[in-house]
Amino acid sequence: MIAISYSSSANLGPGYDILSMGHDAFYDEVEVLEDHSNEIKISGDGIPLDYKKNTAGLSASMILNDYGIKTGIKINIKKGIPAGLGLGSSGASAAAAVRAINKLFNLGMSHDEMVHYSMHGEIAACGSAHPDNVSSGIYGGITLVQSKNPVKIKKLKINLNFSILLVIPEFFMENKTMYARSLVPSKITMDEHIESTQRLSSLISGLITGDRDLVSYGMNDNIVERARIRMFPYYYDLKRRVIENNAISACISGAGPTVLILYDDKSDYNGILRSVDDVMRSYNIKYILKKSRIMEAYND
C-alpha cells in the first residue's frame, strides 16, 4: 500500500506546536508491505534505517503494538522533502506511513487517531511528539491543534487568497529541531502571553475572514522565533525587506531555517525576489526558492 504526505510549515509565527500549513512544494511517498519476518524493516536514502530512529518506523511500531498486529512490515520511503530544513520532512514520512498502514490493515482510523500515531513518530526526529506538522500531513490545509491529549485537530476554512514562497537555505544540522526546541523558554511573562495571544487570534481570524491586515499583524512572534534567532540570523532583515515589498507577511517555517513568505497580487513579487537575494547574499548564505500553494486535502 502506498501513501504520500506533503511538506508543511508549522507555527506560522505565534502558533508554536498549534498551527501548520500543508503545501505542495515537496512530498514523501511511503510504501508499506506485509513481511513475514516479524520485524519492521525500513529502506530509504539519507534517513535512519533502524525503525526506532525513523519517524515512520516508530509510528508503525506503535500501531502494530496497539492493534495487536503480529506480522512484520517493510516500509519503503521515497524522500521528496529535504530533511532538517523546517519543511516538516520528519512528520511527513510518519503521516504517510500511518495512512498506508491504516489502509493496508483496514484499521478504519479517524483522522485524529492517525495524527496521534504520526506525532508519536516525531519522537524519533526530535525527542518530542509535537502534533503540528503531522496534523496538516493528515488533514491537508491549515490545521489547528485544539488538544494534544486526546488529539483533536480543527482544519481552518481559509478565505484569504495568497501564494507561498519558501526561501530554503542550503544548510544541514543533525537533530536541528531537537536543538531548536531546547532554545524555547519554559516560562514567559504575562505581557508576552497577552501579545502572543493577540497575534495568534488575529492570525486565525484573518485567515478565516480573509482579512489581509489581520494576517499581516498576526503572523509575528516574539517568543519562539526570537529565542531561536541565532539559528537564522538573516530572518529579521529578510522579513523587513519583503514586507517593504508588500508581502502579506513572513515567518520561520517550523523550527527553521526556511522562511515562509505569503504574498498576493498587491505584493511586488519581483521586489520580493530581489530583496531575498540581497539579504541572503549579505549573510553569505546559499538558498533555493520554491513557489507553492496550500495542499488542500488528501483523498483518504
Ligand X SMILES: N[C@@H](CCOP(=O)(O)O)C(=O)O
Ligand Y SMILES: Nc1ncnc2c1ncn2[C@@H]1O[C@H](COP(=O)(O)OP(=O)(O)O)[C@@H](O)[C@H]1O
Residues tagged in the binding site annotation for ATP: 82-92
List of residues 6+ apart from 68 with CB closer than 8 A: none
Interface stretch with ligand Y, choices 49-57, 182-190, 226-234, 240-248 (CB under 6 A): 49-57
The DSSP code for 194 is: H
Q: Which of 261, 213, 255, 223 is nearest to 241 (CA)?
A: 261
176 interacts with ligand Y by CB under 6 A: yes
Of the candidates 93, 102, 177, 220, which one interacts with ligand X according to CB under 6 A?
177
11 interacts with ligand X by CB under 6 A: yes
Q: How far is the CB of 93 from ligand X (least distance, A)?
A: 11
**Which cell is 35 given?**
513481511
Interface stretch with ligand Y, choices 47-55, 154-162, 192-200, 291-299 (CB under 6 A): 47-55
Q: Which of 300, 283, 194 is nearest to 237 (CA)?
A: 283
191 interacts with ligand Y by CB under 6 A: no
CB 254 within 8 A of CB 232: no
CB 254 within 8 A of CB 131: no
Of the candidates 19, 32, 40, 56, which one interacts with ligand Y according to CB under 6 A?
56
Distance CA 160, CA 142 (A): 12
Distance CA 19, CA 136 (A): 9
48 interacts with ligand Y by CB under 6 A: yes
For residues 196 and 258, which CB has a smaller minimum distance to ligand Y in the complex?
Answer: 258
Binding site for ligand Y (CB under 6 A): 47-48, 54-56, 77, 83-91, 93, 124-126, 174-177, 254
Summarize as ranges the residues that interact with ligand X (CB under 6 A).
10-11, 16-17, 86-88, 90, 130, 132-133, 177, 180-181, 254-255
